Amino acid sequence: MIARLALTLTMMGMFGTASQAQVSTCAPRDTVIARLAEHYGETRRAVGLGTDNSVIEVFAADDTGTWTITVTSPTGLTCLVASGQAFEAMADSLPAPGDDA
């Protein structure tokens, strides 16, 4: 947990803030991905296309269970959106049509 906070503070320090009230946790994608891999052992587990052609990604580490959700803009700027612990990959299937289970 302290390491995650340190990453967030480092990212904020590297790239500053637009105002004192608004904190930025964004950096070039390569920088963010490298930090997630090197500091937390996280690798990409899921990816999807969001609004305005942004790329939403989920990164996680099997060993520690940490996870991070990022959003990358078309310009290549990646922002940390959420992070946590106890990641578990799941693959639920939809119920059969007509089965209101």
Q: What is the pLDDT of residue 2?
A: 52
The answer to whether residue 90 is domain-embedded is no
Q: Is residue 95 part of a domain?
A: no
CA distance 79 to 18: 14
What is the full per-residue pLDDT of the chain (101 aa) written as tens digits?
455 544 444 444 444 444 444 456 999 999 999 999 999 999 999 999 998 999 999 999 999 999 999 999 999 999 999 999 999 988 888 888 886 75
Would residue 93 count as lying in a domain? Answer: no
Q: What was the pLDDT predicted at 94? A: 83
State the residue range of the domain holding 21. 2-84
Provide the number of structural domains found in the chain: 1
Would 99 be classed as within a structural domain? no
Query: Using N-to-C axis directions, what is the helix angle for 2-15 and 29-40, rounded to 10°?
Result: 160
Altogether, the residues listed in the chain come to a count of 101
> Residue 39 is which amino acid?
H
